[in-house]
Structures are given as C-alpha cells and as structure tokens.
Amino acid sequence: MPETQTRTIELAGKTINYRIRRSKKARYMRLQIKRGSELEVVLPYRMSLNAAVTFIHEKSNWIKKHLQPVIPNKNKFMLFGEELRIDIEYELFSKKTLIVLRGNELKIKTKNGDNKNPEYYFTVWLRHSAKNFLINRAYILAGKYSFNVNKIFIRNQKTRWGSCSSKKNISLNYKLLMLPKELIDYVIIHELCHLKEMNHSKSFWQLVGSIFLNYKQLKKELRTFAINLDM
C-alpha cells in the first residue's frame, strides 16, 4: 500500500473524504484536521486499514465538531496589506495551541477540544504581534522625528485607528497591522504630530506634510480600509 492514500467514509449520513498517511515513526494512530477541512489519519506502518476505519468511527463526534465545510477564500486575512492564509490543524491528542507565521501563512495547531473559528485565532495572534511591532515602530518614529511621547498603548478601538491624549500618551489600534506599512507609519506620525498640535488645524497638517509629502493621498487610502475596524 502507498504511504499516503485518500479514501471516503460515511459518518452521520454524510460522505467524508479523508487521507491515510502511513508513518514508520508513528507508535500509535493520530487523528488530525488540516486547514479546517482536511481529515487525516496517521497510521503506524504495520497497522491495518480496518483499524483506521474503526478509529474514525470511534472519534466521529470529535470529527463532526471540528471538521469545517470547504468555503472558497474563507480563510483569507490581511497582514501588512497582503493576503494571509490561515492553516488550522485540529489534532486529537494535542495538549496546547501553537500559532506560527511562516511566510504568508499562519499555521495553527490546536489543542484537543479547541474548535474556534479562524478569525478567533487570527485576532489573538494579531493582538499579540501588534504589541511588539506597533510599540517598537512608534518609538522609532518618535525618536527619528524628535517627538516626546510618554506611553504607547495598543487597543481595540471601534471607530479610529489611533488617538493622542493631553498626557502625551498615544493609543494605536491593533488592527493597524493589517494595513500596508506606509499607512501604518502615516497613522503613527499623525498621532505623534498631535503631541505638538492637539487639533486638525493648518499648522497640524503642515507638520504632517513635513514628514509625509503625500499625506493627502495616504489619508484617502486609509479611508478604504475603514471596514476592517468592524472586525
């Protein structure tokens, strides 16, 4: 028998495709769901196919709970203005959830019983990543253009990308990480300029324009991403 084989099985009146992958390293059977909708059984090399079928039936409730229908382009999200693929693996005996970015793909291995949707995992990862990237980037730009900023917070604002307080604190929306990097810098600079001009006066826009000559175009582009604030 080939090391990998695709088969079908009837579960609760539905025909489900699954893949059997034989492994010389496997000591016991493993059941996992890749990309949310691809069922795979890892089978020790000398174990029979009947054992795999029995195993699938025994774990049918787990499979029905975690197996998602195939929906084209469902698992597509944005990172720095580019599409990011979400690849979820549900593994029956896994004890923790791991999220790793590899190129343009966010790979997620979930713990047993964890069946949240791709948007949940993406949001958790995005919030964590935003704290590192956005805070570091804001301090770099503040130093480069001589802005005296107090504290920088990462928040989940519903109606704005960022804000600046009279205490010289800046708040940035974690969803900024979905925008192209130039727009991220524009939003950060916009808020940093409010440290010197707490309004949208002519002087404020002159200050923004001294750093971004094309700020009017960037301002227009930013409006096209406003839908992401509803996420």
Structure tokens at 188: 């950060």
What distance, in Å, lies between the first and last C-alpha atoms of the chain? 47
Structure tokens at 13: 């009146």
Q: What is the pLDDT of residue 38?
A: 79
What Å distances lie between residue 35 and 11, 178, 201, CA to CA?
A: 20, 21, 50
Q: What is the pLDDT of residue 230?
A: 45
Q: What is the pLDDT of residue 9?
A: 83
Cα separation, 179 vs 82, in Å, equals: 8
**174, 154 Cβ separation under 8 angstroms:** yes
Q: What is the pLDDT of residue 49?
A: 85
Rg of the chain, C-alpha, whole Å = 24
For the chain, the domains span 1-116, 126-230
Cα separation, 192 vs 184, in Å, equals: 12
Burial of 204 (0-12, 13-18, 19+ CB in 10 A): middle
One digit per residue, pLDDT tens: the chain, 231 residues?
Answer: 457 788 888 887 777 888 888 888 888 888 888 766 678 888 888 888 888 888 888 888 888 777 765 544 444 588 998 888 888 887 777 778 888 899 888 988 887 666 678 888 899 999 999 999 999 999 999 999 999 999 999 998 877 899 999 899 999 999 999 999 999 999 999 999 999 999 999 999 999 999 999 999 898 888 777 544 444
Q: What is the pLDDT of residue 201?
A: 93
Cα separation, 109 vs 30, in Å, equals: 14
**Residue-wise burial string across 148-176, b where 16 or more C-beta atoms lie within 10 A, e elsewhere:** ebeebebeeeeeebbbbeeeeebbbbbbb
Q: What is the pLDDT of residue 132?
A: 93
- Please report which helix (H) or strand (E) contains residue 43, including its range: strand 38-44
Q: What is the pLDDT of residue 36?
A: 64
What kind of fold does domain 126-230 have according to CATH? Zincin-like (3.30.2010)
CA within 13 Å, CB half, 215: 17
